[in-house]
Structure 1
Amino acid sequence: MNDIINRARALAGLYPYVLESFDVEDGIALASAWHHGEWNACFRRLGTVEFVELLGELIEDGWIKLEDANALLMEGNASFSYAHKGSTVAVRIIPLTDLEARADSVSHPNIRVLLGRMNSAAEKRDWSGVLHASSNIFETLAKEVVGTPGVRDKTLGAFIDGYRKSSTLPPPVLDYIHEIYKRRNKEPLAGHGQLDTPTVTEAEAKMLVVMTKAFITFEKEMLTSGAATSASRSSGTSQ
């Protein structure tokens, strides 16, 4: 613990902590309390570059497995990962399209996590997984747009009319989102465990990845900019 803390402190430009022996129980307790507090802070105080460097060192020295580190980074939708390069560890930057970068920049943290899951499912050719992640993204986005406490624990189907009233998206797009949500509940391996073979095709899933990011970007940028008037938002109300 002292070793890792001092590596992090060095990257942050701080002096190392010299570990000493203590004859007094109070001194041992004090040192232990300091180390546990510093342990919680040592990663958080680092900038991105320093964090990448420290994590790479910990992988090289065997403190954490490369596969475990990459799994956590993917879960957090990070834009980099690690790869073995001989006896060292190299950093691999994951390129983002302009659309993906914009969707990521305007999204709620939970949506960024779900975007990472959707991308991961697409990379693994898990097309029903793409549908599942996309539907969850739309449901989370809808709750954020409506913004009332009453929808926090509801399913999208239970407040779809409220979302239509608050959304900046046109009615045909909202119909499409609603259909994606309903299909998730019926599609094998998307919403429930089933023995039937999934029916989502590769083309459908790849289109859904792009459309999901586009809808997020438009919705959030329009709401943030204030370009959408109350009248335009209410145009999505079902007749």
Structure 2
Amino acid sequence: MMYIELSNEDKKSLEPILIPKSTRLKITKLIKGWVATEDQDLLTVRKARFINRANNVLNNKIFVLEPDEMGNYDIPTISWVDCEFEVMIRRPSTVQLVEILIDFFMDDLIGLEEINRIFLNDSIGIEIQYIEKIGSVNHYEGSISIHYLTVIEKPTGSDKLQEDKSIATLLNRMEKSFETKDYSAVLHASASCFEAQAKKIIDKETALNQTLGSLIEQYRSRSYLPEEFIEYILSIYRRRNSEPNAGHGSPLPSTVTEEDAIFIRRMTYALLEIENDLEWVNGNR
């Protein structure tokens, strides 16, 4: 049995990549779900298997579980295993962590899809890819490579915007459109974000079925945003309505460039955050 190792090129490329504690915590929680059982002794055995696989990569001493005469594990052993389990993902360097995750996968302890989803959501910029060998019966006959992704950093404060479900849905739609380079859809999602925000600010049931164009004066009088920002929002709304394949289908190509999409995306987050902060400040005076 031969374990697949990272190439020297991958190791060198991974060295400057930071995998933060928050991401490592998510991976730990994911593994907790995989080992979960109501049988405390079985849980200890499962956790120890992960710990020793990680220790093998880190060149640390392998821990041997020793049950008592009844086949159970004492409290000090359980406590030690619990503590080691909590830090086994936090302790390694980036290269070591990726090697540990690959070994977990090789032993059928984890799946790579869930790990890669965490990396993607946290904008780590890497994806662990397994290439299966045709006719193989286990992972050892395949190959592993690291795919380096273009990191799309979410603007600071974007997590708070996720509290509003309708805005969150539209922002996520904008993110997916940006990732797939569908820039007219970025414009559409941005305009929809501003429209939803305006209706929230106006806070009247009669506004729910109206367009931003028909609500703009009510929004202008109710919002604490400076006038030039209101005009920018209105320009996005108008451009969505006239842009090919943003507001309406068209045989004409979109004129929204990548540079436009970058600016639109950033301004969407910024104006939503600014308006929320202004609402909070003025509501708590």
For normalisation by structure 2, the TM-score amounts to 0.49
After TM superposition, which residue ranges in structure 1, 4 or more long, deviate above 2 angstroms?
A: 7-11, 77-88, 94-97, 225-229
> Which residue of the partner structure matches residue 159 of structure 2?
104
Higher Cα radius of gyration: 2
Partner of residue 190 from structure 2, selected from 124, 129, 134: 134
**Correspondence for 2:282 among 204, 223, 226:** 226
- 8 Å contact from structure 1 (residues 104, 112) kept in 2: no
1:180 partnered with 2:236: yes
Change (3 A) 1:213 1:111: same
When residues 141 and 104 of structure 1 are mapped into structure 2, their CA distance, relative to the original with a 3 A threshold, is farther
User: 1:110–1:79: structure 2 CA closer, same or farther, 3 Å change rule?
Assistant: farther
Contact 1:79–1:95 (Cα < 8 Å) also in 2: no
Aligned to 1:192: 248
Unmatched 5+ stretches in structure 1: 1-6, 16-55, 230-239
User: Residues 161, 96 of structure 1: CA spacing in aligned structure 2 closer, same or farther, 3 A cutoff?
Assistant: same
Q: What whole-Å deviation, never above 9, does each CA across 1:57-90 have from its counterpart, x for those lacking one?
A: 9x939xxxx59x96xx9xxx954799554359x9
Deviations 1:88-125 (A, max 9, x none): 9x9x9x9785x724133145122122112212222222
Distance 1:194 1:14, change over 3 A: farther
Give the distance between the partners of 2:226 and 2:237, measured in 1 at CA.
17
* Alignment gaps of 5+ in structure 2: 1-31, 40-104, 131-138
Give TM-score scaled by structure 1 length. 0.58
For the aligned residues, what is the CA RMSD?
4.0
Q: Is the 8 A contact 1:222 1:228 kept in 2?
A: no
Distance 1:228 1:170, change over 3 A: farther
Distance 2:239 2:270 in 1: 20
**1:155-178 CA distance string (max 9 Å, x none):** 111111111111111111101111
Higher relative contact order (CA 8 A, sep 6+): 1
